[in-house]
């Protein structure tokens, strides 16, 4: 049994990308860049108007009021004019190219147009209302850095690089094996006494997918050694990461480890000194030339999701090309009530945040508890042998 920090460091150490691929830009949202994304050209490419109005030369408005003939127009998407060389002004719209020679755009609210003549009667303010070429970024600038997940915000910036394809890290293929004779699909458990709805695989699959994994399949398997070994063999062939839930204790039907073969596992850690989730384990397959990682989660839903948050997060972040060190960033907040002392294992308690942002621990921290999971906002971290604390104390939490 290893301490939490040691186990976390081991996960980060093995959480390396499985490869790189080039995808069409349309398929890039949610993926992680495998190289810096550089701008193809300046933005804007030429001087453009920031407002709807009239492009003028300052010299023509040196004395007010002034009346200038409208001798041209410029729309967004128009071919840029080489220069402005005439007496008068041009009608121009937001995003339209500004010809060389135009000093400013006077917004239309300051102009009275009569026929083809624009009348400038008052000062329009100091602003030029022109976005200069390259003022946002220049050709060759790094717009989105390697290792960035292309979220809805980042993908907007990435699109402005004007690249039809981007290089991204491959999504890890994940197989989930939920073990246990007592498990049934939701909607079927009530039909058979002694069965319970299998819930952990659904939460873990949704979480892994949100972290950038590709879910190959999720299976429920009874505690039958032959079936378990066949499923384990197929999972090793098909997946980069195999997540096993349940069967990690010391009961007569706990086959989560042995189903991969005797002496087949090279343990990253065999179990961790935490509560809940001591049975969590992680290993590699010794005989595989390609890296195959197995994460064994406890069968109880509370323990399973807590340990998934602690260890699956850095694993998949690292494999997808993100910074695994950022997976477990603890922050300090206040606790609304008294806290008891802690025993010999580091403890992660589920809690919600009240309207004032203080943590409120759920009354039940049982490893099998599911009702609180939907409401839990944070995990409250307390080190082994921590003394009791009074209400209002500062505590460490991890977003859950």
Rounded CA-CA distance 156/138 in Å is 17
CATH 3.90.230.10 assigned to domain 48-131? The reply is: no
pLDDT for res 182 = 87
Name, in order, each residue with C-beta under 8 angstroms of 339's C-beta and a sequence gap of 6 or more: 361, 380, 382, 388, 389, 393, 395
Q: Which CATH number fits domain 4-17+170-326: 1.20.1730.10, 3.40.980.10, 3.40.50.1820, 3.30.2290.10?
A: 3.40.980.10
Rounded CA-CA distance 176/243 in Å is 5
Main-chain dihedrals φ then ψ at residue 313, nearest 5 degrees: -60, -55
pLDDT for res 86 = 78
pLDDT for res 196 = 86
**Mean pLDDT per 10-residue section of the chain, whose length is 400 residues:** 96 95 96 97 96 96 96 91 86 96 95 97 91 96 96 96 97 95 85 87 96 96 92 95 81 78 89 95 83 93 96 97 96 96 96 96 90 93 96 96
Main-chain dihedrals φ then ψ at residue 224, nearest 5 degrees: -115, 115
pLDDT for res 368 = 85
pLDDT for res 252 = 54
Name, in order, each residue with C-beta under 8 angstroms of 197's C-beta and a sequence gap of 6 or more: 183, 184, 185, 186, 187, 188, 189
pLDDT for res 289 = 62
pLDDT for res 181 = 84
Q: Which residue in 327, 285, 244 sits closest to 13, CA to CA?
A: 327
As a CATH number, domain 331-399 is: 2.40.340.10
- Summarize the chain as % helix, strand, coil (round to 5): 20, 30, 50
Q: Residue 385: which region, alpha, beta or left (left: phi > 0; alpha: psi -120 to 50)?
A: left
DSSP letter at 238?
Answer: H
Domains of the chain, by residue range, sit at: 4-17+170-326, 24-40+143-167, 48-131, 331-399
- List the structure tokens of 50: 């920031």
pLDDT for res 262 = 73
Write the CA distances from 85 to 75, 99, 158, 219, integer angstroms. 18, 9, 38, 74
pLDDT for res 251 = 56
- Record the pTM: 0.86
- Laid out side by side, the sheet with 241-245 consists of 214-221, 173-179, 241-245, 293-297, 281-285, 265-269
């Amino acid at each position: 049994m290893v301490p939490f920090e040691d186990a976390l460091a081991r996960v980060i150490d093995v959480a390396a990308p499985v490869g790189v691929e080039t995808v069409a830009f349309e398929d890039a949202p949610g993926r992680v860049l495998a190289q810096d994304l550089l701008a193809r050209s300046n933005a804007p490419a030429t001087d453009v108007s920031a407002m709807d109005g009239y492009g003028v030369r300052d010299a023509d408005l040196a004395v007010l009021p002034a009346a200038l003939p409208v001798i041209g127009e410029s729309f967004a998407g128009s071919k840029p004019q080489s220069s402005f060389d005439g007496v008068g002004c041009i009608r121009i719209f937001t995003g339209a190219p500004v010809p060389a020679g135009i000093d400013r755009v006077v917004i239309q609210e300051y102009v009275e147009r009569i026929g083809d003549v624009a009348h400038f009667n008052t000062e329009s303010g100091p602003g030029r209302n022109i976005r200069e070429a390259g003022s946002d970024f220049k050709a060759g600038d790094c717009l989105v850095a390697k290792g960035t997940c292309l979220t809805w915000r980042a993908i907007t910036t990435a699109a402005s690089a004007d690249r039809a394809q981007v290089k991204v890290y491959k999504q890890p293929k994940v197989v989930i094996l939920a073990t246990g004779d007592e498990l049934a699909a939701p909607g079927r458990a009530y039909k058979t006494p002694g069965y319970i709805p299998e819930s952990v695989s659904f939460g873990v699959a949704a979480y892994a997918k949100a972290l950038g994994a590709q879910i190959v399949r999720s299976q429920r398997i009874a505690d039958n050694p032959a079936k378990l070994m066949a499923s384990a063999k197929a999972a090793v062939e098909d997946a980069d990461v195999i997540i096993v839930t349940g069967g990690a204790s010391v009961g007569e039907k706990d086959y989560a480890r042995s189903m991969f073969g005797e002496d087949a596992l090279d343990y990253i850690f065999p179990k961790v000194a935490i509560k809940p989730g001591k049975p969590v384990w992680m290993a590699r397959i010794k005989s595989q030339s390609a890296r195959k990682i197995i994460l064994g989660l406890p069968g109880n839903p509370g323990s399973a999701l807590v340990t998934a948050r602690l260890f699956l997060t850095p694993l998949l972040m690292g494999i997808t090309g993100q910074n695994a060190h950022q997976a477990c960033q603890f922050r300090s907040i206040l606790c609304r009530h008294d806290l008891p002392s802690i025993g010999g294992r580091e403890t992660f308690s589920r809690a919600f945040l009240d309207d004032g942002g203080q943590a409120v621990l759920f009354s039940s921290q049982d490893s099998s508890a599911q009702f609180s999971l939907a409401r839990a906002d944070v995990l409250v971290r307390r080190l082994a042998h921590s003394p009791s604390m009074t209400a209002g104390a500062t505590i460490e939490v991890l977003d859950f």
